Each structure stands twice: as structure tokens, then as C-alpha cells.
Structure 1
Amino acid sequence: MSLRDRQRAETRHRIQRQAIKLFVDRGYDATTVNDVAAAAGVSAMTVYRHFPTKEDLVLYDDFDQLAAATISELPATGSPTDRIGRTVLATFDLASTHDRELLLDRLRLMISTPALQARHLDSQYRLQEAFVTGIDDPTAEFQTRAAAGAVLGVAYTALLRWAAEDGESSLPELFREAFTSTFGQSL
């Protein structure tokens, strides 16, 4: 990553952290993009350059790219359900140890804010597409798409439980438990 790319990523991360902090403290609807810009020490135009909509301040992440990269790095064995499950597990392992509080705050906002609930479905669709692209088997596209939808439903259930328990449990273990109870196989 070049210096310029690192600086852009750091600015994007700083803006998002400040936005989520304000949304948690003041409420999503009560916080403006100008409030976020002031807290992050940037202009409103800089906020919009990194996050085209207010919803993106909460929903933006690199999970689509991370999932596509992870699924292509894992052994290409097993059913699409197993491969996608292993990818989600690896992503949860990483996400729950890196910026755990940020992830928990983002999740709580997604659960409690109607505008974010609707947009969250868009991000789920993009993640499903990342899995289909990552497996890249045109003969099994329908099966892969169905498996991705089912595994993402299991992942969402684990995330809801993790948020309800204030992040006290292990997110990867909750996912493993939900996956096993749904598909009858362990990861």
C-alpha cells in the first residue's frame, strides 16, 4: 500500500470512528455529517468523499474484499456451504480481535436504526456476491448463491447473539455453534 493509500485509509478510519462515537453518544438521527466532520477534523466534503451517504459511515467495511480474498486462499475443498462457513469463521476471528468495540458499536447501530437496517440488506447482497465471485464455479452458481444466503443468515444470528451479550462471548464460537445447529456439521 502506498503512502497516499495509507493516509486515505487512516483518514477514512478516523472519520468512521468519530461518526460511530457520535452516533452512539448522540443518536444516529441527531448527528449530522457536519458534526462528524468537525469531530474528525476534516471538511464535510472530505467526509462525503470517503462516505457518499450518512449510512455508509456505519455500514462501510472491507468485509466484501476480505471475504473474497479469504475464500480464494482457503483450500477449495468441500461444499460451498463449508467453504463459505470457513471464510466467515476466519473473518469473524479477525474482526472480533481487531477493533472489537467498533464492530460491536456498528452492529448495535445497525440493529437499532431503521435507516441502517434497510441499507444493511444491500451490504449482505454485496457479501453474497463476493462469495459467488470467490468460488467462481459457473456450474455451481445457484448452489453457491443459496449456500451464501444461508450461511449469512447463520452469521447474522450469531452477530445478534454476540451484540445481545455485549460482546462477552466469542463471536467465532457463537458462529460455530449456530453453523453446527443449522447444517449438522462442524467447522
Structure 2
Amino acid sequence: MSTSLPEQTSPPGDPLDRLPLRERKKLRTRRAIQEHALRLFLDQGYDATTVEQVAAAAEVSPSTVFRYFPTKEDLVVTDEYDPVMTEFFRSQPADLTPLEALRATFRQVFPYLDAQDRATMVARTRMMLEVPALRARMIDSMRSGTLGVVAELVGERTGRAPDDRRVQAFAWAVMGVLQAAMYAWLDSDATLDLAALVDANLEFLAEGLPL
């Protein structure tokens, strides 16, 4: 497999610029390691690539790779979007409902991701769907990662605990419509507007999923 990814940059307007300096440095290091890993996975195949090769390409030690990515699978599954989403969500006006705040957040974040990370997002998602170990890790990561972030943010905005039954149901519903948008985007070979798909699905959820 010889598909290549474009060089990733951090242009003006990078959402990471809104994070604290220490968090930005950590995320940019993680981004660089992951970029090298994805290039090797695409060139050599996931199973044929070792963490040691990723470390050598990124010019870091294997222990540094594992500091940022506890497992090899995390080199594909992990992304930097949860802390960025958290920063944008918390900046939304207090009078917005959780769904309105999420829609506003994604409207701000997705255009950047679509412009800068389209090839990376497609490559990562396709690998997660095609490699059994990655599919399993993706499900675990979704539950312990983005789902938990959504529940925490919704809990903050509504004054409920993140493990509140209704908060959890809301978070799972959000994850469901996000995944539906992602699959539709992939099925179109990433030609559709991902931000518009996500927004339409969240709007449908806000309407109560009428059919």
C-alpha cells in the first residue's frame, strides 16, 4: 500500500492554539508521532509495522511512543479532538441547550479538521474498520474517551452527574448520530461535507428522530 499523507501543519486558527501551552506541546508531540505511524502503516501495512519502527521514524524512543500511546492500536485510534471539542464546548453561551452547544462546537471544529486532516481522518477510519484489533480498540476507546467527554460536558451544562442515566443516554445518542454521519461520509469516499452531515444528524436528534 503506497498511499501517502500530506504533511501536517499548524496554521493560524489551529484549534490547539486555544489550549494551555503545556497541553498544546503534548498534543503536538502526539500528533507528530501519530503522523509517522500512519505513514508507515499505509506504506508497510499495520501488522508489518513495529512500534520500534515508528519511534525511529519520529526520532523518539519506544518508551516515549508508549507514553503517548499505551498500545500500538492507540497509534491509530487516539486523536486530539476531544480536548479541542471540550475547549470549544465550554466557550459556548450559557443559554444554549447541550445539543445547541454541541452543534455550535462542531460547526467551529469540523471545518478546520476537514481542511487540514481529511486524508488522515480517512486513513485512520478505514484502518479502524479493516483491522480486527483496531475495531475492538475503537469500541473501547469510544466508550472510555469521547463518550465520557460528552457526558462530562453535558453534565456540567445541566448540573447533572456524568453517570446520570439520562446524561448517559444522551451521550450514547450523540455518539450514534456522529457514527452515522462518519459512515455516510466514508461511503461517499469523503466527498460529502462531514460538518454538514454531523449538523444534520444532530438537528434530527434535537427534533426527536421523527420518521
What TM-score do you get using the length of structure 1 for normalisation?
A: 0.82
Structure 2: gaps (5+ residues): 1-19
Does the CA-based 8 Å contact 1:20-1:58 persist in structure 2? yes
Partner Cα separation in structure 2 for residue 150 and residue 42 of structure 1: 39
After superposition, where does 1:1-187 map in structure 2 within 5 Å? Answer: 2=21, 8-125=26-143, 126-135=145-154, 136=156, 137-138=159-160, 141-184=164-207
Identify the structure with the greater helix proportion: 1
- Structure showing greater relative contact order (alpha-carbon pairs closer than 8 Å, 6 or more residues apart): 1
Does the CA-based 8 Å contact 1:16-1:58 persist in structure 2? yes
> In 2 relative to 1, CA 7–182 (structure 1 residues): closer, same or farther, beyond 3 Å?
closer
> In 2 relative to 1, CA 139–42 (structure 1 residues): closer, same or farther, beyond 3 Å?
closer
- 1:84 partner amino acid: L
> In 2 relative to 1, CA 123–84 (structure 1 residues): closer, same or farther, beyond 3 Å?
farther
3-state SS of 1:109 partner: helix
Partner Cα separation in structure 2 for residue 84 and residue 110 of structure 1: 25
3-state SS of 2:67 partner: helix
> After alignment, is 75-84 or 20-29 more displaced?
75-84
3-state SS of 2:95 partner: coil
- 2:151 partner amino acid: V
Cα deviation 1:18-69 (Å, max 9, x = unaligned) = 1111112222112111221222233322222222210111122222222222
Cα deviation 1:113-168 (Å, max 9, x = unaligned) = 21111221233222122122223122794333212211111111111121222222
Quote the RMSD (CA, aligned, Å): 2.7
Aligned length: 185
> In 2 relative to 1, CA 149–88 (structure 1 residues): closer, same or farther, beyond 3 Å?
farther
Partner Cα separation in structure 2 for residue 9 and residue 52 of structure 1: 15
Does the CA-based 8 Å contact 1:71-1:131 persist in structure 2? no
- How many percent identity over aligned positions? 35
> After alignment, is 157-166 or 134-143 more displaced?
134-143
Partner Cα separation in structure 1 for residue 106 and residue 90 of structure 2: 13
Does the CA-based 8 Å contact 1:68-1:130 persist in structure 2? yes
Deviation at 1:73, TM superposition (A): 1.1
Deviation at 1:17, TM superposition (A): 0.5
